[in-house]
């Protein structure tokens, strides 16, 4: 049975100038007057005996392709080395090809450790 010890969550807060489009520089407060701070992405990490499980890893749509997800994953990997875990496990929807590509580029491969099953119990509200 899976009973992980919670490690917590990490988030990247970004600041951007008023009316500016998100950019890698503004993500790290490198330019402009600060007008707004927001969470650009977060990841939740659970530690089992020999692995990390990431049930949630999210980057806001407007911050994708700006290095936020890569920075979060790099931090998880750094922590995994520090904690001496063997591997990192994530579940990704089959149709989410952009995340599949994101992970493959970073050296992740389908694990074949998990197959999810579901069963519809009720059709409440359906005709």
Closest CA to 69 of 51, 77, 57: 57
Model pLDDT, residue 119? 87
pLDDT in tens, 27-46: 333 333 434 678 888 899 99
Tell me how crowded residue 57 is: count the other CB atoms within 10 A of its CB: 20
3-class DSSP string for the chain: CCCCEEEEEEEEEEEECCCCCCCHHHHCCCCCCCCEEEEEEEEEEEECCCEEEEEEEEECHHHCCCCHHHHHHHHHHHHHHHHCCCEEEECCCCCCHHHHHHHHHCCCCCCCCCCCCCCCCCCCCCC
pLDDT in tens, 83-121: 999 999 998 988 999 999 999 999 999 988 777 788 888
The domains found in the chain, sorted by start residue, are 5-105 (3.40.630.30)
pLDDT in tens, 68-87: 999 999 999 999 999 999 99
Model pLDDT, residue 3? 39
Strand partners, 89: 53
Model pLDDT, residue 24? 38
Q: Is the pLDDT of residue 22 over 50?
A: no
Model pLDDT, residue 39? 85
């Amino acid at each position: 049975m899976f009973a992980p010890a919670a490690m917590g969550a990490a988030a990247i807060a970004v600041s951007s100038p008023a009316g500016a489009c998100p950019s890698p520089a503004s993500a790290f407060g490198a330019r402009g007057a600060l007008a707004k701070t927001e969470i650009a992405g977060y990841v939740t990490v659970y530690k089992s005996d020999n692995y990390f499980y990431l049930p949630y890893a999210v980057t806001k749509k407007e911050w994708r392709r700006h290095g936020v997800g890569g920075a979060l994953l790099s931090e998880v990997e750094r922590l995994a080395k520090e904690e001496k875990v063997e591997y990192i496990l994530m579940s990704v929807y089959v149709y989410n090809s952009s995340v599949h590509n994101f992970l493959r580029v970073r050296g992740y491969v389908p694990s074949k450790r998990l197959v999810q099953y579901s069963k519809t119990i009720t059709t409440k509200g359906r005709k």
